[in-house]
Structure 1
Amino acid sequence: MPKEPASQTKLYVLDTNILLHEPLAFLSFKEHDVVIPMTVLEELDYIKDSKKDVARDARVSIRAMEDVLRDATPEQMVDGVSLAGTTAGESAPTGRLSIFADHTMTDEQKVFTKNENDNNIISAALYLQKVKAPRQVVLVTKDINMRLKAKGAGMALVEDYRTDQLISDIQFLFKGYYRFEGNFWDSVKSVESRSEGRDTIHTISRDVLPEAYINEFILDQSENFAAIVEYMDEKNIELLDMGYERLMGRSAWGISPKNIGQAMALHALLDPQIDLVILTGPAGSGKTLLALAAALEMVVEKNMYDKIIVTRSTPEIAESIGFLPGTEEEKMAPWLAAITDSLEVLHKNDENVTGSMSYIMEKANIQFKSVNFMRGRSIQNAIVILDESQNLTASQLKTIITRCGEGTKLICGGNLAQIDSNYLSPVTSGLTYLVEKFKNFSGSANINLDGVVRSRLAEFAEENL
């Protein structure tokens, strides 16, 4: 396939945060050329040796660029080395990768007087925009303020990195259920129903639910019908009739659902056929409490699993966990206070709350683990609760999911409105990836818990602050 003329292809200048967010991002621009300013390499060099959670991403990106540029001469690195053949597929890159020595720019060529990394990268992009005209030069950064500074300084094209975004807006994120207006049966022209033991299964036309997914819950506004998609093909969908009241009547470890969202979540959590349960929703919607209650029910009462492993992502954990005293579990305790708080709620009516918690933690074999030390493990026949997963990237989540061996159930919970990472947004969070990528997987279920049940104070704050 002949290479397009340079004037028709664009020149993309990448900021450091793009390569920290997705280490192989420079391979995502197809026929267009990619420029990495020297300042970006210096920032990656500093970060790769730090204790930050993105240090590994920096190392991966550096190695990947070195693989492309290994045999290039200094002149070729400036002019650009072809990316053709680095990856396969229709979207494989055919442009060039080059390094721009922005540290050699004179003060007259720089726009900003203050010598900061962001300023140097913007100056490099502005210089290339001038010397490469009329070719389009685009600065790509996830830093909103940097985009504003670049536009204010005269950069014509400034973009966020959207190649990795599965959805354009978080409001379009798959919720795990579909609610019909009015009565469900009014929308159904024909149905075939059959009984399998105590269960009733309805077979309806695919036209009624053209966008349905496996394990998606189906509700109606009349609160008379509740079902879950069991099977579907091009023509038909099979719905397992749950029964609204029966669904609301489920309980685990003394906890009963307070709304239909929690009822659907509890059903998915207690279903042994579902290996991955994703719980999203605002603070106070019951994600952690439901996950822990279901885990205790299945480990202690039903003996379906051997242990409970609790882990979470904390942006600063890599730097601060080493300074805390004690074992790994004791070091992790401050970060996993949400779990111990939930344990207290589950046993608040016991005569000796502390004694009950100690007994249950030993009986259920609850282990607190750092997400940093999950790599390389193989977890068998356990329930893994991954809390605050909105702060993880897709690659970090993949690392954890691929640790789950035979008979292991993974519960991921998170609030996309509370992202602490500097390199993630709601649409690029690994949790968003998980929801969208696994919605067609028969072994997973996703529930968006809508409504704060923690307290009227928390509910008012969620709605008005």
Structure 2
Amino acid sequence: MSADKLYILDTNVLLHDPNCLYEFKEQDVAIPMTVLEELDNIKDRKQSVAQEARHVIRAIDNILSVATPSQILKGVPILVPGTEDATRLGKLSIFPDHELTTRQGFLPDNKNNDNHIINCALHLQGSDPHREIILVTKDINMRLKALGAGLQKVEDYRKDQLVSDLDLLPSGHHHIDGNFWEKVEKVKSFQEGPNTYHKVSPDLLPETYPCQYVYDDSKDFAARVVSVNHEETILMDLGHQKLMQQECWGISPINIFQAFAMQSIQDPDIDLCLLNGAAGSGKTLIALACALEMVIEDGRYNKIIVTRSTPPVAEDIGFLPGTEEEKMTPWLSSIHDNLEAMHEGDERPQSSVKYAIEKANIQFKSLNFIRGRSIQNAIVLIDEAQNLTPQQLKTILTRCGKDSKMICLGNLAQIDSNYLTPLTSGLTYVVERFKDFEGASTIHLEGIFRSRLAEYAEEHL
């Protein structure tokens, strides 16, 4: 018996979430032959997306490897990974769309792969009118073409989209109007080591979560939420003035949001710091200054590892001369720019930059070579994290070994990937997923300090 719905998957959906084959529950899934050809072309590239292509191909092979050609055309039951249970999932089939010929109602066959995939969906819609045929693609223009060609149902893949609006994304900080302490009727304070904690009623901060920063208008109160339950909320008192007096590697915060970022990066109880904000808000500068301070001055870590995705020319990295670090230099110039900015007042700035890189053991690593590693006793800066998929960020974060800290830097307004939007970016996904984790903090940096031109461009373009 056929399922009520048949989902036709585009290549970008499979690359965006290699596990998507198991996400359509009891409904059937079909993959056009054109999609398999696209995956085959991608799997041998030197881009990070090649890993996802190979993952998808293995997943398809695990389902179809023991089936006969006729069974593959009709559909093979999708087994739940690690079990023999296929009762809750539908069937997977491969459709030979290359055999379709151009006819009335079909898009022209001009070697355009999108047209081939749309024609596949149109053919199935016409030949199987008793069930709903749905094309799933993350390509907006392809969705418009499919609807214009007469396809009844076209959808985006949103399984990993945890928020429907970026305004709902946690900012990591909460402003309280007026004076916070004037609103508190009952408080229990206690000391642990150098820190002061306050137990207050959860009604004062009804929607708070662990590691959220709170501050008021008094320019005196600032705290971080330590834990939340139905009986009490525990705050760690930070003090507005004390936060603003922080200094790392000669850099001090300009506003309270940068101060929150510096505090969270330096706090040994926080393993993951997520810094997002507009270009020029100080993400890289703050993260790098804190990292240098903790490695060189405090000796808390042995090295700094810097990595990032390399769109859109990652395949060129193999043709650049030199070591891995030297090959990554063109994509990590922002790190050098910030190092130069921190030492511009020195008598010999270039020597100071070279000293910082060598003394802090700063290593530039390609995303492709992060996989399989266990990173110990290091600070890992993940630059341009908005261009990573949820799967890629998971790969990096799971590399975090003993005594290591991860710092993700990103600006959701500057996504370069063809497969991502601000709502489906790995950075958005991780911010929402780690919202309730006591070892992770999120800070949305506000304000642009690069230049008045940069500020005007960010606001008006």
State if a TM-score over 0.5 links the two structures.
yes
Match of 1:182 in 2: 178
The counterpart of 1:342, out of the listed 338, 341, 356, is 338
User: Who is 1:249 aligned against?
Assistant: 245
1:133 paired with 2:129, answer: yes
Give the Å deviation of 1:147.
0.4
Alpha-carbon distance, 1:366 to partner: 1.4
Q: For residue 277 of structure 2, what is the amino acid of its counterpart?
A: G
- Tell me the alpha carbon deviations over residues 100-119 of structure 1, each in whole angstroms, 9 at most, x when there is no partner: 11111122266112421101
Q: Which moved more, 1:208-217 or 1:263-272?
A: 208-217
- Return the TM-score normalized by structure 2: 0.95
Aligned 1:6-405 pairs, distance under 5 A? 6=2, 9-86=4-81, 93-108=88-103, 111-115=106-110, 116-196=112-192, 198-316=194-312, 318-405=314-401
In the alignment, does 2:432 pair up with 1:436? yes
Identity %: 57
| Rounded Cα–Cα distance in structure 1 between residues aligned with 2:181 and 2:231 | 18
Residues 86 and 92, structure 1, Cα contact 8 Å, conserved in 2: no
Partner in structure 1 of residue 459 of structure 2: 463
How far off is 1:13 after superposition?
Answer: 0.9
Task: Flag the 1:234–1:458 CA change in 2: closer, same or farther, 3 A.
Answer: same
After the TM superposition, which segments of 4 or more aligned residues of structure 1 sit over 6 Å from their partners? Answer: 87-92
Indicate the SS of the match to 1:190.
coil
- In the TM superposition, residue 90 of structure 1 has moved relative to its aligned partner by 12
Q: CA deviation at 1:263?
A: 0.6
Question: Structure 1 CA distance, aligned partners of 2:293 and 2:212?
Answer: 23
Q: CA deviation at 1:173?
A: 1.1
Quote the residue 1:448 is aligned against.
444
**What is the distance in 1 between the residues matched to 2:57 and 2:323?**
34
Contact map agreement 2:179 2:217 (CA 8 A) in 1: yes
Structure 1 unaligned regions, length at least 5? none
Tell me if structure 2 keeps the 8 A contact 1:318–1:372. Answer: no
8 Å Cα contact 2:22/2:80 also seen in 1: no
Aligned-partner residue type, residue 431 of structure 1 = L
TM-score by length of 1: 0.94
Asked whether the 8 Å contact 1:298–1:305 carries over to 2, the reply is yes
RMSD: 2.0
Q: Distance in 2 between matches of 1:196 and 1:107?
A: 75
**Contact conserved, 1:109 with 1:123, CA < 8 A, in 2?**
no
In structure 1, distance between residues paired with 2:118 and 2:208:
45
Distance 1:356 1:460, change over 3 A: same
Q: How much does 1:300 deviate?
A: 1.1
State which drifts further: 36-45 or 257-266: 36-45
In the alignment, the residues of structure 2 paired with residue 174 and residue 88 of structure 1 have an alpha-carbon distance, to the nearest angstrom, of 36
Give distance in 2, aligned partners of 1:91 and 1:210.
Answer: 43
| 1:79-113 Cα shifts (integer Å, max 9, x gaps) | 11122444679998421111111111122266112
Task: State whether residues 128 and 137 of structure 1, in contact with CA within 8 Å, keep that contact through their aligned partners in structure 2.
Answer: yes
Q: How many residues in Structure 1 have an aligned counterpart in Structure 2?
A: 460
Give the C-alpha shift of residue 186 in structure 1: 4.4
Cα gap change, 1:84 to 1:329, in 2 (>3 Å)? closer
